[in-house]
Amino acid sequence: MSSFNTIGLIGRLASANTQYSINRLVNFLSKRKVKLLLDEETSTVLPGEGYPVASRVELAKKCDLIIVVGGDGSLLSAARAFAGHPVNILGINRGRLGFLTDISPDEIETKVSEVLDGKYQTEERFLLNSEVMRDGEALSEGLALNDVVIHPGKFIRMIEFELYINNEFVYRQRSDGLIISSPTGSTAYALSGGGPIMHPNLDAIALVPLYPHTLSSRPIVVAGSSVIRLIVSEQNNLNPLVTCDGQSQTMTQPGDEVIITKSEKALTLIHPEGHNFYETCRTKLGWASDTGNT
């Protein structure tokens, strides 16, 4: 008897390895006799199999477990679709690093079976909400599990902006941009930018400058309840982009405001029993595994 009634399946289609894992997973789930729904795009790699197909909107309403086969990018996309819904997300890694998709391909049957038998850990992650304002009206809105980034796009030029936290002026900065990261995103782009690693359970947001035009500018960690506001300087001669998780973007213009807050929508991740954040860091980041015993 499965702990979950209806399972949705999402996979990244560009990879032959991912398609192999999807087929392997579907065959396994069929033997477990669970109710399975395939994402519309994912169903194209299983033609003629006869499995029910649903949009992501339908999956959010009908499923209590979503299994994502792919890399962290695939899970980030799923996160924005299912955040705020009573559905759990389980990741099978077919990408490179795999901080969020933590089941390896050769463990599919073993680990997924354990999850279906109720042997798993849950973890709630918060998302960031980004809103671009122009002349007092909302131009666009986006969600990000990892980060919201303001940057110059394809141009190799510095941009200028003012930063306010809870309506208090912090600084005017010229740099290649700014990463506003959740704890989940602290091991992603923000880490490459020199930001701190934050435990996923922290209620905090990190602001990481990208190549600032001053040696004294450093990452700042603020409370998760903070309202972060960026004003795009009138001095810019280009149109900076605001990107959510590297997958959706909005072009700004001088005078626009970008407001980032903690979203009311949360995401529930599932990990196999024994999952440990620090062990993941050791494995993925190549930290020394010596326990210090002599």
179 token code pair:
């990463």
**Which CATH fold topology does 127-264 show?**
Tumour Suppressor Smad4 (2.60.200)
104 token code pair:
């390896």
Render pLDDT for 195-215 as a digit per residue (tens, 0 to 9).
999 999 999 999 999 999 888
pLDDT value of residue 84: 94
Residue 156 has pLDDT above 70, yes or no: yes
pLDDT value of residue 267: 96
Helix, strand or coil, per DSSP, at residue 143? strand
By the 8 A CB rule, do 116 and 32 touch? Answer: yes
Q: Where in the chain is the domain with CATH 3.40.50.10330?
A: 6-118
Cα-flanking dihedrals φ and ψ of residue 252, to 5°?
A: -100, 175
What residues does 162 pair with on adjacent strands?
A: 172, 231
Cα-flanking dihedrals φ and ψ of residue 73, to 5°?
A: -60, -40
pLDDT value of residue 71: 85
Distance CA(121)–CA(293), nearest Å, equals 29
Residue 293 has pLDDT above 60, yes or no: no
When computed from its CA atoms, the radius of gyration of the chain, rounded to whole angstroms, is 21
Q: Which residue has the higher pLDDT, 151 or 215?
A: 151
pLDDT value of residue 51: 83
Residue 46 has pLDDT above 80, yes or no: no
Mean local confidence (pLDDT), 133-153: 95
DSSP string over 186-201 = GGTHHHHTTPPP--TT
Mean local confidence (pLDDT), 249-272: 96
Helix, strand or coil, per DSSP, at residue 30? helix
Distance CA(144)–CA(244), nearest Å, equals 5
Q: How confident is the model at residue 138 (pLDDT cuts 50, 70, 90)?
A: very high
Distant-in-sequence, close-in-space partners of 240: CB < 8 Å, separation ≥ 6: 150, 151, 152, 153, 159, 161, 177, 232, 251, 252
CA 65-183-185 angle, to 5 degrees, is 80
Distance CA(150)–CA(15), nearest Å, equals 30
Residue 178 has pLDDT above 70, yes or no: yes
Residue 129 has pLDDT above 90, yes or no: yes
Q: How confident is the model at residue 102 (pLDDT cuts 50, 70, 90)?
A: confident
Q: How confident is the model at residue 294 (pLDDT cuts 50, 70, 90)?
A: very low
CATH classification code of 6-118: 3.40.50.10330
In b/e form, how buried is each residue of 210-233, taking b as 16+ CB within 10 angstroms?
bebeeeebebbbbeeebebbbbbb
Which residue of the set 39, 72, 176, 256 is catalytic? 72
| Identity of residue 1 | M
Q: Give, for 283, the enclosing helix (H) or strand (E).
A: helix 277-285
Distance CA(229)–CA(227), nearest Å, equals 6
Longest dimension (CA), the chain: 64
Mean local confidence (pLDDT), 46-54: 78
Helix, strand or coil, per DSSP, at residue 115? helix
Residue 255 has pLDDT above 60, yes or no: yes
**Residue 72 a catalytic site member:** yes
pTM: 0.92
Q: Where in the chain is the domain with CATH 2.60.200.30?
A: 127-264
